[in-house]
Amino acid sequence: MDTVLKVKGLKKNYGSLQALKGISFEIQTGEIFALIGPNGAGKSTALRIIATLLSPAEGEVEVLGFNLRKEPEKIRERISYLPEEAGAYRNQRGIEYLKFMATFYAPEPQVAAEYVKRGTEVADLGERLYDRVGTYSKGMVRKLLLARALMTRPLLAILDEPTSGLDVINSLEIRQIIREYVKQGTTVLLSSHNMLEIEFLSDRVALIDKGVILDSGTPRELKEKYSADNLEEVFRRAVR
């Protein structure tokens, strides 16, 4: 198995607040790796750094063999990022949004058309895909954004709270889609504070709190280690 992501001693400060205090982890090809922790634990900051949005204060990040500081453009070509509070252009139609984003990733128009076709399937919005995004519900926007993130079949998909704002049925569908894409070769780094979701979805998990990774392993390993029935219990015991 190849290493898709290497994070070593990653630190980030916002003024006097230290959001990340030197976290380290690695993700292998075809894995679903989850960062779990409460709000403000540093999950989104870590994901935003890996997605090339924020620059680290200290530490090293290597994505698919490319150094984050030196070659962020090469990383951007190979990853996709779904922010927790993302939006789409309200004046664009859903289909226009997918076409717009596909053009940035596709080397030629035919490939872009393939991406859009795939995105249309993932979004599963039917005729509503031809309506303006401004008329969509929060759940519909989220599905459109997830479709955008997965349609290019990225080597690494960084998904921050992927089912945020979705109802139970939609959340189940999204989890299913993520699993299918992993089977087709996409590696996933996700964050969530919904620990039940993580337990269902992830191959490996890192518990993060106050900018520090407390522990990591498969959900089963962690449950055994902490003699817990679920990841919520694991987290509670790890924090102690």
Given the rule CB under 8 A, which residues bind another protein?
Answer: 14, 48, 51-55, 73, 76-77, 79-83, 85-92, 100-101, 103-105, 145, 148
Closer of 86 and 214 to another protein (Cβ): 86
Please, which residues bridge with residue 159 across strands?
82, 190
Residue (158 or 234) nearer to another protein, CB: 158
Shorter beta-carbon distance to another protein: residue 147 or 207 = 147
Query: What's the chain's length in residues?
Result: 240
Nearest by Cα to 50 from 105, 104, 7, 11: 7
Minimum distance between the CB of residue 90 and another protein, rounded to whole angstroms? 6
| Cβ atoms of 7 and 158 closer than 8 Å | no
**Distances, alpha carbon 131 to alpha carbons 77, 139, 162, 170, 206, in Å:** 29, 15, 23, 20, 40
Tell which phi-psi region holds residue 136, choosing left (phi > 0), alpha (psi between -120 and 50) or beta: beta
Nearer to another protein, 103 or 137 (CB): 103
Is 83 or 94 the residue whose CB approaches another protein more closely? 83
Q: Minimum distance between the CB of residue 16 and another protein, rounded to whole angstroms? A: 12
How far apart are alpha carbons 40 and 36 in whole angstroms?
A: 11
The pair of three-digit structure tokens given for residue 212, joined into one six-digit string: 């520090």
Cβ–Cβ under 8 Å, residues 191 and 23: no
**How many Å apart are CA 229 and CA 240, to the nearest integer?**
17
As measured in angstroms, the least distance from the Cβ of 188 to another protein is 15
204 φψ region: left (φ > 0), alpha (ψ -120 to 50), beta (else): beta
Tokens 């008329």 correspond to what residue?
135
The answer to whether the beta carbons of residues 234 and 226 sit under 8 Å apart is: yes
Q: Cβ of residue 67: shortest distance to another protein, in angstroms?
A: 16
Whichever of 88 and 166 has its CB closer to another protein, that residue is 88
Closer residue to another protein (CB): 62 or 199? 62
146: left (phi over 0), alpha (psi -120 to 50) or beta: alpha
Q: Shortest distance, CB of residue 48 to another protein, whole angstroms?
A: 8
- Minimum Å gap between C-beta 79 and another protein is 7
Q: How far is the CB of 32 from another protein (least distance, A)?
A: 20
